[in-house]
Amino acid sequence: MATCTGCSLLCEDIEADVSGGALSHVKNLCRKGHGHFQAAFTERTVPMVDGVRVDLEEAVAKAAEILRNAKSPLLYGWSNSTLEAQAAGLDLAERIGATIDDTSSFCQGILMERILSGKIASCTLDDVRNYADTSIFWGADPSSSHPRHLSRFSYYPRGEKRQKSYEEERTCVVVDVRRSATANLCRKYYFRISPGADGEFVEAILSALDGKVPKVGDKKKMIELAGILKKTEWGAIFPGLGMIYSMQEKMDLFEALIARLNEITTFRVVPMVGHYNMRGFNELLRDKTGFINSVSFKGGAAVHGPEHSIVAAAKNSDAALVIGSDPLSSLPVGTARALARLPLIAIDPRRSLTTDAASVVIPSAISGLEAGGTAVRMDGVKIKFEPIMKTDLPSDEQILRRILEAI
């Protein structure tokens, strides 16, 4: 049995035959996971220094040289690496006085920090499967981003207290700016909002819960939603990036909504984390420094702040190591440009815009397929996995330890 690292559900029940250089006899893999497994056979990286193919040791030596000579190095990525690799990355950051940041500083970090500090009540996905009678997808489209979410946990499965499941016992609500694939599945309770209007929507729910007339266009529908929330025995809210980007400075309002809902009934929040081990990095860094991301070890002690996030640090660093991430494709163009100008080390199993622009490319084994390790699911459950394919490539952790040794 294999574990899929295609998203932060970390499905552990995957059956797949990967012998003979092709994927066959696949069971339980969704289409996104299928693409993730299939990518093991295409677009793999090779060790490179300044665009010239070299052997692995030479690439590792050059990476060590760049980091050793840097005054303000940046280490970024981490959400697609195992806990073991992340721990090696933290050792490296401390050793060279680097800034370290992961993808959460640009996405779910603002909510994850409140979950990990206990300000917002959370739960496991197994709790959702067993107890939830209402699931709310807010600015999230799991049918596309986490395709087995609804079938394994939140809508279709029969749980301990939800034997009648979606046919009779589970209600699915979608709040989104567009009619997504998930909104089509849950069309009875699809609430369309304007881009950026999530804060107003929260205020409208709070008003309706208190029996006041909500200040929104469709007051009747909002009062109906308040009725569903009040009747819920055990509910779960799954905020996606649409909601996070819209709320940002208004996250206190969302916290107030969850507190209010928990005065009436039980409601838990599980962020729809995308990368398979973003939460693992946040937990690990928090245990070590008290902060979940954007930390600088320059000068010895750990210092946190927006100036140490990828967006700012890319402009203030003189070298960068990017692991398991493609910031040149996914981050704003100013940040991508700043990164591309640096001596850039990319550790990645697959080719990307970032590896194409990197001064040093170090190929690694794909976690879950070619390398084992441990990761933390979006709900905080630790998942250990073993490789199912043989490879001569080192894991992320082995590469980082070799760089550390060489430094």
Stretch that binds ligand SF4, among 142-150, 279-287, 323-331, 341-349 (CB under 6 A): 142-150
Of 148, 162, 275, 351, the one binding ligand SF4 by CB under 6 A: 148
- Tell which positions 251-270 bind ligand SF4, by CB under 6 A: none
Looking at beta carbons, which pairs linking 182-190 to residues 24 or more positions away fall under 8 Å? 182/137, 182/140, 182/141, 182/142, 182/143, 182/144, 182/150, 183/141, 185/143, 185/150, 185/155, 186/137, 186/155, 189/225, 189/228
Q: Does 29 bind ligand SF4 (CB under 6 A)?
A: yes
Round to whole Å and give the CA distance between 28 and 12.
Answer: 9
Of 4-12, 91-99, 191-199, 243-251, the window that binds ligand SF4 (rule: CB under 6 A) is: 4-12
377 binds ligand SF4 (CB under 6 A): no
Minimum distance from residue 143 beta carbon to ligand SF4 (Å): 10
Q: What are phi and psi of 15, to 5 degrees?
A: -110, 125
Comparison of 81 and 207: residue with beta carbon closer to ligand SF4: 81
Shortest Å distance, C-beta 89 to ligand SF4 = 23
Q: Which of 99, 2, 50, 6 has the alpha carbon at shortest distance from 350?
A: 6
Which residues, including other chains, have CB under 8 Å from residue 21's CB and lie 6 or more apart? Answer: 41
> Contact with ligand SF4 (CB under 6 A): which of 11, 48, 60, 243?
11
Name the residue nearer to ligand SF4 (CB basis): 7 or 338: 7
Exactly one of 147, 280, 324, 373 binds ligand SF4 (CB under 6 A); that residue is 147
CB 306 within 8 A of CB 291: no
Query: Tokens 């309706």 — which residue?
Result: 208
The answer to the question of residue 7 lying near ligand SF4 (CB under 6 A) is: yes
DSSP notation for 235-295: EEEEE-HHHHHHHGGGHHHHHHHHHHHHHHSEEEE-----STTHHHHHHHHHHHHS-SS-E
Alpha carbon 18 to its chain centroid, in Å, reads 26
In whole angstroms, give the CA distance from residue 227 to residue 310.
42
The CA–CA distances, whole Å, from 93 to 37, 89, 103, 175, 302 equal 31, 6, 16, 40, 10
Tokens of 121: 């009540």
Question: In the bound complex, what is the minimum distance in angstroms from residue 1's beta carbon to ligand SF4?
Answer: 12
Single out the segment in contact with ligand SF4 by CB under 6 A; choices: 30-38, 186-194, 241-249, 250-258.
Answer: 30-38
Q: Is 69 helix (H, G, I), strand (E, B) or coil?
A: helix
49/241 with CB nearer ligand SF4: 241
Q: Could you tell me the smallest distance in angstroms from the CB atom of residue 149 to ligand SF4?
A: 7
3-state helix, strand, coil in the chain (%, to 5): 45, 20, 35
Binding residues for ligand SF4, rule CB under 6 A, total 14
Q: Tell me: does residue 241 bind ligand SF4 (CB under 6 A).
A: no
Answer for which of 62, 114, 129, 146 binds ligand SF4 (CB under 6 A) is: 146
Does residue 10 belong to the site contacting ligand SF4 (CB under 6 A)? Answer: yes
- Does residue 9 touch ligand SF4 according to CB under 6 A? yes
The residue within the footprint of ligand SF4, chosen from 16, 23, 30, 292 (CB under 6 A), is 30
Q: Which stretch, 2-10, 174-182, 217-225, 330-338, contacts ligand SF4 (CB under 6 A)?
A: 2-10
Is the Cβ of residue 6 or residue 73 nearer to ligand SF4 in the bound state?
6
Least distance to ligand SF4, CB of residue 38, Å: 12
Asked if 163 contacts 262 with a C-beta cutoff of 8 angstroms, the reply is no
Nearer to ligand SF4, 13 or 57 (CB): 13
Grouping H, G, I as helix, E, B as strand and the rest as coil, residue 171 is: strand
Give the residue carrying structure tokens 């339980």. 28
Question: Token digits for 208?
Answer: 């309706």
Stretch that binds ligand SF4, among 31-39, 189-197, 207-215, 317-325 (CB under 6 A): 31-39
Binding site for ligand SF4 (CB under 6 A): 4, 6-7, 9-11, 29-30, 32-33, 36, 146-148
